[in-house]
Amino acid sequence: MFLDAPAFSHLQATLDALQIQPNEKDRRAALHRVFADLMDDATLTPLFNYHYRISAPPGVNGVRLTPRGWFEFSEAWLPPPSQ
């Protein structure tokens, strides 16, 4: 879903009005309501930044996450079996 021009103008005016509210608690609550409405309407989809930890079975080497949090498959390796 997207915002048409009138809806975008209304949202911009709402955000401008909220940003100048002197009471921080009221301002945060009002902004939270606006963002919750945008998420409920599927206009806004938040991206989350989680801090993951990874573990690997013994013997797997080169296990790491990229700066964007993806497992770097090209760097993981297993040593040759010992004979």
Is residue 28 assigned to a domain? yes
Contact 65, 52 (CB under 8 A): yes
Is residue 71 assigned to a domain? yes
User: Any idea what the Cα angle at residue 29 is, between residues 27 and 35, rounded to 5°?
Assistant: 100
Q: Quick one: 53 and 36 in the same domain? A: no
Q: Quick one: 32 and 12 in the same domain? A: yes
Residues 6+ apart with CB under 8 A from 55: 63
Query: If you average pLDDT over every residue of the chain, what do you get?
Result: 86
The total number of structural domains in the chain stands at 2
Q: What is the mean pLDDT of residues 45-63?
A: 77
pLDDT at site 48:
66
Per-residue pLDDT of 18-52, as tens digits, reads 999 999 999 999 999 999 999 888 888 877 656 66
- State the pTM of this model: 0.53
> What is the Cα–Cα distance from 24 to 26, expressed in whole angstroms?
6
Q: Which domain holds residue 24?
A: 5-40
Q: Quick one: 72 and 52 in the same domain? A: yes
Is residue 67 assigned to a domain? yes
Is residue 23 assigned to a domain? yes
